[in-house]
Amino acid sequence: MPELTYREALNQAIDEEMARDDRVFLIGEEVALYNGAYKVSRGLYDKYGEKRVIDTPITEGGFTGIGIGAAMAGLRPIVEWMTFNFSIQALDQVINNAAKMRYMSGGQFKLPIVFRGPNGPAEYLASQHSQALAAFYAHTPGLLVIAPATPYDAKGLLKSAIRNDNPVIMMEAELLYNTKGDVPKEEYLVPIGKADIKRSGTDVTLITFGKVLHLATDAAEQLQTEGISAEVLDLRSLRPLDEEAIIASVAKTGRCVVIDESCPVASVGSYVAWLVSNKCFDILDAQVELVASIDVPMPYNHRLELAVQPSAEKIITAVKKVLYIN
Amino acid sequence: MAENIPMLALSPTMEEGVIVKWIKQEGDTVAQGDVLCEVETDKATMDYESPVEGTLLQITATEGQSVAIGDTIAVIGEPGEQVETPKRPQLQNVSVDEEKLQEPVAEPILPETSVHPLLTDKPRSSPLARKLAELHGLDITDIKGTGPNGRVVEADVKQASKLTPVAIAPVSRPGDEVIEITPKRKLIAKTLAGSKFTSPHYYLKVNVIADNLIETRKKLNADSDHKISINAFLIKFVAEVMQRHPVINSSWQDDRIIQHGTIDIALAVSQPDGLIAPVVRQCQSKSLTRIDTELKALVEKTKAGSLTSADYANSTFTISNLGSFGIDEFTAIINPPNSAILAVGKMSKQTVVGNDDKIQIHNCMTLTLSCDHRIIDGTIGAKFLTDIKDMIEGSV
Amino acid sequence: MKAETKDIAQYDKDLLSDLLRQMLLIRRFEEKTAQMYGLRKIGGFCHIYIGQEAVCSGAIATVNLAKDYVITAYRDHGHALAVGMDPKIVMAELYGKITGCCRGKGGSMHLFDAAKHFYGGHGIVGSHIPLATGMAVKIKYNNEDGVVLCFFGDGAIHQGAFHEALNMAGLWKLPIVYICENNQYGMGTDFRRASAVNELSKLAASYNMPGARVDGMDVLAVYQSVTDAVKQARERSKPSLLEIRTYRYLGHSMSDPAAYRTKEEVAKYKSQDPIIILRDMMASAGMFTEDEYAVMDRDCKSIVAEALDFAEQSQQPEIATLYEDVLAESEE
């Protein structure tokens, strides 16, 4: 199986779906001539031309709304946000329009549109450019939200998202774009709404998504050397959540640590922690722990920004807490 | 097509409006938006603008009149048009509130709350329930849960303990000494609290004339080196009477009653670190002497601290005698898994009114039987106790 | 731009009659809507279109909804009727009934008819202007022959969404006509107190598109100017911005007593009522009689009465329907 970067996997997904369906097009800042701010769209402008790979002015609200209008009228846009920090400019369009149009019209419209870009902190970017915004979107009924952590999942989920008739928010990460993984040559899809056990274990369930999945698997490896068997459940989809998979895993282990790089208040992680304590109340051996970012805006200084975010050490500490190991 | 003009809600909270003044008069031509009249709402005086155009054919609500929303205040139509006696406009035959009442109350569809199939075979109790059960010395597994899927919750433990919420921690005082609880004390606490809080106790009391018992004992002991104790007599009597009342010799187990095949009677013995009740087994088939011999051996072992669980576990009935401590009478807590306990007070001379109405003096003692009402009904307990009384008084 | 009585002869009588009937139907519909709101049959925010009928009637009469699109803001009852939606299902939607066009999930501000290319009914000021622009992108993307009519109010024109969208429409030469229905008050604020320019159509110059002010109390002026703008969009894929100056007779919404306007001002506009003006022009040209008008009015009233009856008789939505239409079930 060929090894691809996360970036190449995304590029393949967009390329394949554009070849498959003429209605699919890519729109956003610097996606065409510049080949994408993070080079996800490399080569697509040359291949498909300016009609289907569209550079926009710096106007997130405007081009996001244009994408939504085009989707209402029957096209299948992929809207690239240079980062999710800028998507806040377009939040009105997504929340008030994309998420509501079908419901408010009594089911008259489909909105086949994907909004994608890097989410969450990278390095040395300070607070405006280092936000993990999953909760903003996962909070909103009418949207689907996905956050793949591996090249395989990124490609399969993006293809599913492009083929889906609903607005899909896809959260990538700058620090994931260069990570590598096996991606099959043959066509495949990863279904939206299905979690994946990235590592099997029996003592504790680590539930996570996106970039910090890799911290969770690192923590699990280290715990193994101490004889602790951690299961790592990658949610992959945040809306809808795969409740079955969450319950099945916690039913097996009886202990749960949720890892979410967002701030802790009203986050996807805190919702999952509630879900586990609600659905698995009788079989939990300990309180559910949440490893999140510290509840402050992101500082610029590297030492400080690392201290804010989840780490393998923080995950291990939380695991020991739920296992009553001092 | 004449049209009835209804009172409208001119403020969000208004229920009715008072016509302050008619601006248009009957016969006037009105355009949509013309002010017909002024209406005083619950908030202010508002202009009522005509919703339609035409000729004001009739005013049906006079100045000063209070009109409910929906009721007709005027009729507008073509000039010369015949006006029928105005009624409420057709569309609000049903007033707003009535319509609300008539709406079917829909069952809200709530998200699935039942327990996931993967989780159903696990033992269930809430952390608070477990904590509370521990506090009251209850075994959580003995408590029936009423929560989702049989989860034992706080209310179940409270019910089981017949206690209000949480034991109040004593306020600490200068000079307080903290005494660590020994395992034995913990067991006593748990066992007796469990008994008192789960078995519904009731108490029966009789005064017994013991002259014959004293006489019999004196005779027997005079003839032998073996001095038989009063307790041995009591055990023997209980064992005899119990054969006539086997219900007493029972245990409550979940939702069943186990009626025991042997009569194994325990005698409560105090020790410096707590109470223990060694058991004389198979009393139904043992002689008084044999019972006394075994009892003495058990008491010796108790004093030596060498009792094993085989010596004190699994009794079917218990006697507690505080007579030698000078207690007239008392009520005892049933010793699980027994269904009753006999509390024996001191023997003393008392005045008794005889059958001949004369005052007599006898050696008397008071027996108190504590019964678990789940097993023993009052009349059965009463017969059992009076049979013991008869046997003691007859002493044969 | 103002049509003169002498010009009326150049119009087909059927067209004039249709415009008059359309405006009258909207007027009668809105009169009843306001009344039913007062009777608490209709709740929430309810924005009445009375006074502005010429704008949507004149504009929408110029397009072919088999290929063209109409989208507007929350004062949308008139547009819904002008695209040909059945007054029954519009009224039922105002009542929140299951028979309403949006099954009782949209209400007054969110009327839709996808089949008639009426794409809403939008409640967030200015937010639908990019959507309209996206529809024009679709038309161009597919090399279709359609145009988009995008209506919005004078309050929306200062939103970023307006400027972002018009910039791209000008940049990409999209087939769209932006119609600012300037009813002169953004809620309670006179538009002159909110705008750096009094001629809103001047904003078009920033986005390299033509702009014009049109008399919105004159349905023929509206019809003529939108016809020209649509032709330009359809044939040359060139967007434009029209400021159609109009007036609403009632408050911003049903909870607004409109105390910020003088009675004289309201009376002035009522004296140029678009329905009366067209009726009188047609009568003077000998194209229409009082009797014909009476029949037309009776027809409109009875259509509205039927709509009310239908809404009244319709069922409330079942609670279970609240879970429906959150997401499309099918996947490509």
Does A37 fall in a domain?
A: yes
Q: Distance (Å) from the C-alpha of residue C321 to the closest C-alpha of chain A?
A: 10
Q: Are residues A146 and A213 in the same domain?
A: no
Compare all CA atoms of chain B with the CA of C308 and give the residue at the minimum distance.
B91
With contact defined as beta carbons under 8 Å apart, do C270 and C249 qualify?
yes
Q: Are residues A315 and A273 in the same domain?
A: yes
Chain-chain contact of A165 with C106 (C-beta, under 8 angstroms): no
Chain-chain contact of B119 with A248 (C-beta, under 8 angstroms): no
Residue B149 at interface with chain A, using a CB cutoff of 8 Å? yes
Does A191 fall in a domain?
A: no
Q: Distance (Å) from the C-alpha of residue B147 to the closest C-alpha of chain C?
A: 28
**Contact list, C320 vs chain B (CB under 8 Å):** 109
**Chain C interface mutation, best of A64, A68, A103, A162, highest count of C Cβ atoms under 10 Å:** A103
Option in B1, B33, B69 nearest C40 (CB): B69
With contact defined as beta carbons under 8 Å apart, do A91 and A63 qualify?
no
Residue A65 at interface with chain C, using a CB cutoff of 8 Å? yes
Structure confidence by residue, pLDDT tens digits, B169-183: 666 777 888 887 887
Find chains touching chain C: ≥3 CB pairs under 8 Å. A, B
- pLDDT surpasses 70 at B146: yes
Q: Distance (Å) from the C-alpha of residue B244 to the closest C-alpha of chain A?
A: 48
Chain-chain contact of B9 with C38 (C-beta, under 8 angstroms): yes
Q: What is the CATH number of the domain that holds A264?
A: 3.40.50.920
Domain count, chain A: 2
Q: Which of residues 69-128 of B touch A (CB under 8 A)?
A: 115-116, 118-119, 122-126
Residue A324 at interface with chain B, using a CB cutoff of 8 Å? no
Residue A269 at interface with chain C, using a CB cutoff of 8 Å? no
**Contact list, C122 vs chain A (CB under 8 Å):** 97
Q: How far does Cα A135 stand from its chain's mean position?
A: 11
Grade residue B93 by pLDDT with cuts at 50, 70 and 90.
very low
Question: How much of chain B exceeds pLDDT 70, in percent?
Answer: 87
Beta pairing partners, B59: B74
Q: Are residues A228 and A165 in the same domain?
A: no
The values of phi and psi at residue A25, to 5°, are -145, 160
Q: Distance (Å) from the C-alpha of residue C146 to the closest C-alpha of chain B?
A: 38
The terminus-to-terminus CA distance of chain C in angstroms comes to 49
Q: Greater confidence, B164 or B84?
A: B84
A177 half-sphere exposure, CB direction, 13 A CA radius: 18
Structure confidence by residue, pLDDT tens digits, B95-125: 444 444 444 444 545 445 555 666 666 668 8
Catalytic, out of A8, A29, A60, A231: A60
Q: Which of residues 257-286 of A touch B (CB under 8 A)?
A: 279-283
Residue B301 at interface with chain A, using a CB cutoff of 8 Å? no
Residue among C155, C158, C117 at smallest CA distance from C136 = C117
Residue among B92, B91, B80, B86 at smallest CA distance from B55 = B80
Residue among B265, B267, B275 at smallest CA distance from B315 = B265
Q: Greater confidence, B78 or C77?
A: C77
Residue range C130-148: average pLDDT? 98
**Chain C interface mutation, best of B1, B3, B4, B8, highest count of C Cβ atoms under 10 Å:** B8
Looking at A152, A182, A212, the residue that finishes a domain is A182
- Name the packing angle between helices B230-244 and B288-304 (round to 10°): 120
Structure confidence by residue, pLDDT tens digits, A201-249: 999 999 999 999 999 999 999 999 999 999 999 999 999 999 999 999 9
Helices (H) and strands (E) in chain B, counts: 9, 19
pLDDT at position B89 is 41
B119 half-sphere exposure, CB direction, 13 A CA radius: 28
- Which architecture characterizes domain C5-310 according to CATH? 3-Layer(aba) Sandwich (3.40)
Chain-chain contact of C332 with A73 (C-beta, under 8 angstroms): no
Q: Which of residues 216-235 of A touch C (CB under 8 A)?
A: none
Residue B220 at interface with chain A, using a CB cutoff of 8 Å? no
Helix (H) or strand (E) holding A197: strand A196-199
With contact defined as beta carbons under 8 Å apart, do B236 and B282 qualify?
no
Q: Distance (Å) from the C-alpha of residue C103 to the closest C-alpha of chain A?
A: 5
Q: How far does Cα C106 stand from its chain's mean position?
A: 17
DSSP-assigned letters across all residues of A283-297: G-SSPPEEE---SSP
Residue among C269, C178, C271, C183 at smallest CA distance from C225 = C178
Task: Kindly list the structural domains of chain B, giving each domain's residue range(s) and its CATH number in brackets, ordered by start.
Answer: 3-90 (2.40.50.100), 122-161 (4.10.320.10), 199-394 (3.30.559.10)
Which residues of C touch chain B, with CB atoms under 8 Å apart? 27, 31-32, 34-41, 50, 249-250, 255, 257, 266, 270, 298, 301, 308-309, 312, 316, 318-320, 322-323
Name the amino acid, one letter, at C237: S
Q: Distance (Å) from the C-alpha of residue A251 to the closest C-alpha of chain B?
A: 7
C20: which 2 tokens?
A: 């008059």
Alpha-helical (H) ranges within chain B are 96-102, 127-135, 154-161, 183-198, 211-222, 230-244, 288-304, 309-312, 378-394
Residue among C177, C174, C180 at smallest CA distance from C73 = C180
Tell me which residue range forms the domain holding A291: 196-322
Q: Are residues A99 and A244 in the same domain?
A: no
Torsion over CA: B70, B72, B78, B81 (sign): positive
- The SS3 assignment for C73 reads coil
Chain-chain contact of C39 with B9 (C-beta, under 8 angstroms): yes
Lowest-confidence pick of A127-136, B85-94, C15-24: B85-94
Does A189 fall in a domain?
A: no
CA separation for the pair B208, B217 (Å, rounded): 16
Helix (H) or strand (E) holding B275: strand B274-276
Q: Which of residues 235-254 of A touch B (CB under 8 A)?
A: 247-248, 251
CA separation for the pair A215, A311 (Å, rounded): 6
CA separation for the pair B276, B183 (Å, rounded): 13
Active site residues of B: 373
pLDDT at position B95 is 42
Option in C119, C123, C164 nearest A72 (CB): C119
Place of tokens 């009924």: A141
Three-class SS of A5-51:
EHHHHHHHHHHHHHHHCCCEEEEECCCCCCCCCCCCCCCHHHHHCCC
Structure confidence by residue, pLDDT tens digits, B213-248: 998 888 888 877 788 999 999 999 999 999 999 999
Q: How far does Cα B30 stand from its chain's mean position?
A: 74
Residue C138 at interface with chain A, using a CB cutoff of 8 Å? yes
Structure confidence by residue, pLDDT tens digits, C144-167: 999 999 999 999 999 999 999 999
pLDDT at position B88 is 45
- pLDDT surpasses 90 at B84: no
- The SS3 assignment for B269 reads strand
Q: Distance (Å) from the C-alpha of residue B118 to the closest C-alpha of chain A?
A: 7
C299: which 2 tokens?
A: 């027809």
Option in B33, B70, B108 nearest C39 (CB): B70
Option in A59, A74, A110 nearest C328 (CB): A110
Chain-chain contact of A103 with C105 (C-beta, under 8 angstroms): yes
pLDDT at position C2 is 52
- pLDDT surpasses 50 at C180: yes
Chain-chain contact of B116 with A283 (C-beta, under 8 angstroms): no
Chain-chain contact of A59 with C164 (C-beta, under 8 angstroms): yes
Residue B292, CA distances (Å) to A149, B186, B229 in order = 81, 31, 7
Taking one residue from B and the other from C, the number of pairs with CB-CB distance under 8 angstroms is 54
Q: Distance (Å) from the C-alpha of residue A23 to the closest C-alpha of chain C?
A: 9
Helices (H) and strands (E) in chain A, counts: 13, 14
With contact defined as beta carbons under 8 Å apart, do B277 and B315 qualify?
yes
State the pairing for strand pair A230-234/A237-239: unpaired
Name the amino acid, one letter, at B147: G
Option in A247, A251, A282 nearest B124 (CB): A282
Q: Are residues A145 and A207 in the same domain?
A: no
- pLDDT surpasses 50 at C217: yes
Q: Are residues A200 and A172 in the same domain?
A: no
Q: What is the CATH number of the domain that holds A106?
A: 3.40.50.970
Chain-chain contact of C135 with A70 (C-beta, under 8 angstroms): yes
Residue A175 at interface with chain B, using a CB cutoff of 8 Å? no
Structure confidence by residue, pLDDT tens digits, B297-339: 998 888 888 888 888 888 999 999 999 899 999 999 999 999 9
CA separation for the pair A240, B289 (Å, rounded): 80
pLDDT at position C201 is 96
Looking at A157, A182, A207, the residue that finishes a domain is A182
Chain-chain contact of C100 with A106 (C-beta, under 8 angstroms): yes
Does A188 fall in a domain?
A: no
C91: which 2 tokens?
A: 């009224």
Residue A215 at interface with chain B, using a CB cutoff of 8 Å? no
Find chains touching chain A: ≥3 CB pairs under 8 Å. B, C
Q: Are residues A8 and A70 in the same domain?
A: yes
Q: With a cut of 50, which residues of chain A have pLDDT below it?
A: none
Name the amino acid, one letter, at A188: Y
Q: How much is the pTM? A: 0.75
- Is A243 annotated as catalytic? no
With contact defined as beta carbons under 8 Å apart, do A123 and A116 qualify?
no
Q: What is the DSSP letter of B125?
A: B
Long-range own/partner contacts, residues B292-301 (CB < 8 A, 24 or more apart): B292/B226, B292/B228, B292/B229, B292/B232, B293/B226, B295/B229, B295/B231, B295/B232, B295/B235, B295/B267, B296/B229, B298/B267, B298/B269, B299/B267, B299/B269
Residue B68 at interface with chain C, using a CB cutoff of 8 Å? no
Place of tokens 């903003």: A136
Sequence length of chain C is 332
Q: Distance (Å) from the C-alpha of residue B130 to the closest C-alpha of chain A?
A: 12
Compare all CA atoms of chain B with the CA of A275 and give the residue at the minimum distance.
B113
